[in-house]
Amino acid sequence: MGKILEHKELTFLERTYIPEIIRGMIVTTKHFFRNLFNWKKIPTIQYPEVKQELSDRLRGKHRLMLKDDGSLRCTACFLCATACPALCIHITAAEHEDPKVEKYPIEYTVDISKCVFCGLCVEACPCDAIRMDAGLTLTTSYDRQKLNLTIDNLPLKLEKD
Amino acid sequence: MLFRTIEIIVKLMIVIGCGLTLTSVLTWAERKQSALMQDRIGPNRANIFKFTLFGLFHPMADGIKMIMKEDFIPKKGIKLLHTLAPMIALFPVFLILAAIPFGDTLIIGDKEVHLQVIKLNIGIIFILGIASTAIFGTILAGYSSGNNYSMFGGMRAASQMISYEIGMGISLIGLLMVYQTAQLDVMVKMQGEMLWGFLPKWGIVVQPFAFFLFMAAAIGENKRTPFDLPEGESEIIGYFLEYSSMKFAMFFMAEFTEIVISSALITTLFFGGYQIPYLFETGFHFPWGTIIQLNHYTVVIIQTTGFALKVLFFCWLMLLLRWTLPRVRYDQMMNIGWKILLPLGLLNLFITGIIIMWIGTI
């Protein structure tokens, strides 16, 4: 059911523009003088010198969880890669020597240059193998390869850490 | 003779110097003011030894950057016209500055110095005539660039400027009828007189309606928002699309000097020029009888400062308007020019004529 918009006819004074223009100018003038005399209160952050404080609740650092014996918890089930809306997780699975363990990842790559930090991989993981920590990984680099986080340079952590 | 020559050179230096300085300061002011109006900080990075001076070094940095850039002429363009266009755009703008009186007659010893570069008896007509030649710069720039978007910009600029010229001229005829002169210095002198003994006879008092018409027409003539269709950054880049380096800067300078000029014109025509209410040649004479005696030089200095402050205020107002209003559509702009400004200007003339017939003179 669509909503029918009623277009209001402009009154004569509105059609002359002048009172409305003056009204708009009063708004901008107020802003101008308020900021002119309190320019320290302007919410701009002077970026390279001052950095924005990140919220404690921000989850921006991928972390791969380890089992107690130090091996990866990940079973290479590809659920995170499927859930990922940015298609930034690339997994290569391999057969494990231990017959009780079905698969394990020999490559687990998170392409940070594509990642949107939505946390859906964490939601999707059935065995709690990937988590996200507070803070933000560095998302800029002169080298694209540095933005591909692999098992070697992803933080690997035990649950108690 | 020698005195006259020196006098004119000094006055030229003052006017061109002030005009150019104000122009470059305005490029800073526009960015800073828009920033403050939008709760931002604005330019603050250019510095000399970490000393930023509220970003005032940015115009200098811009100048250096503009000079260093490649001066590019498109292959399909017409080389001569392409080079000539920015000069034609900039030249008339500075010519207008010459006709604006910025102070009363200064008496040094037995010599009289008129604080106006050239004392013209056709002041207003000269200004309107010269202002309309600024079209050539923009349309030639559009034509000679060999680019369709530039051409669009040039055509838009030409049609817009011609349309708004008429509104501008018509709105000024009312003033000519009231003051019975086209001479700007005489007009400003008459604005120092009093209406009914207490109200300064400024243009805004005797022709309040013409002020709004002139203001709208002047912004249209300047090609600034809300009438910046010839530029229209989001649709066509405009007539200076194929320009780079100092040539582009010249178009920009022309635009900013036009702000200065329209502010100076509004001040001169409608806000008493250098006249300050109740300040006469011998000092302040307030209508309630208080008299403050001042000598000649003090009066002239106060008047010239008053003129400068008024011009600065109107520059500020122009920038405020530019950053408050959105751009109108092209047909709306033409409608405003032809169907609103022109008939209202004629109506204003008609009413002014009736009043002048009725009470003789204002």
Please compute the mean of the pLDDT values over residues B15-37 and round it to a whole number: 90
Render pLDDT for B312-323 as a digit per residue (tens, 0 to 9). 999 999 999 889
A25 CB within 8 Å of a chain B CB: yes
* Residues from chain B contacting residue A29 (CB–CB below 8 Å): 320
Render pLDDT for B141-174 as a digit per residue (tens, 0 to 9). 888 988 888 888 888 888 888 888 888 888 888 8
- Could you say which of A21, A28, A46 has the minimum Cβ distance to residue B323? A28
Render pLDDT for B123-139 as a digit per residue (tens, 0 to 9). 888 888 888 888 888 88
How many domains are there within chain B?
1
Whole-model pTM?
0.83
| Radius of gyration of chain A from its Cα atoms, rounded to whole angstroms | 26
Rounded to whole angstroms, the Cα distance separating A43 from A52 reads 11
What are B's interface residues with A at a Cβ cutoff of 8 A?
Answer: 33, 36-41, 212, 320-321, 323-325
Coil vs helix vs strand at A1: coil
* Residues from chain A contacting residue B212 (CB–CB below 8 Å): 18
* Residues from chain B contacting residue A43 (CB–CB below 8 Å): 39
Render pLDDT for A111-155 as a digit per residue (tens, 0 to 9). 988 999 898 999 999 988 888 888 877 778 888 888 888 888 777
Question: What separation in angstroms does the CA of B332 have from each of A17, B132, B164, B226, B248?
Answer: 12, 22, 13, 11, 28
Q: Tokens at residue B89, please? A: 């755009």
Whether the predicted pLDDT of B10 surpasses 80: yes
What is the predicted pLDDT for the residue at B362?
55
Q: How far is B41 from chain A (nearest CA, A)?
A: 7
Render pLDDT for B165-205 as a digit per residue (tens, 0 to 9). 888 888 888 888 888 888 888 888 888 887 777 788 888 88
B168-B169-B171 Cα angle (round to 5) = 65
User: How many other C-beta atoms are found inside a 10 Å radius of the C-beta of residue B175?
Assistant: 23
Top-confidence residue, B196 or B75:
B75
Per DSSP, which regions of chain B are E strands? 105-108, 111-114, 194-195, 199-200, 279-280, 283-285, 291-293
Is the Cα dihedral A141, A146, A147, A153 positive or negative? negative
Q: Which residues are within 8 A (CB) of B62 and not within 5 positions of it... i.e. 6 or more apart?
A: B27, B249
Q: Containing domain of residue B48, as a range?
A: 2-359
Instruction: Give me the interface pTM, i.e. the ipTM.
Output: 0.83
A161 pLDDT tier (thresholds 50, 70, 90): low
User: How many other C-beta atoms are found inside a 10 Å radius of the C-beta of residue B165?
Assistant: 19
In a mutational test of the B interface, the residue from A16, A23, A28 whose CB has the highest number of chain B CBs within 10 Å is: A28
Rounded to whole angstroms, the Cα distance separating B225 from B218 reads 11
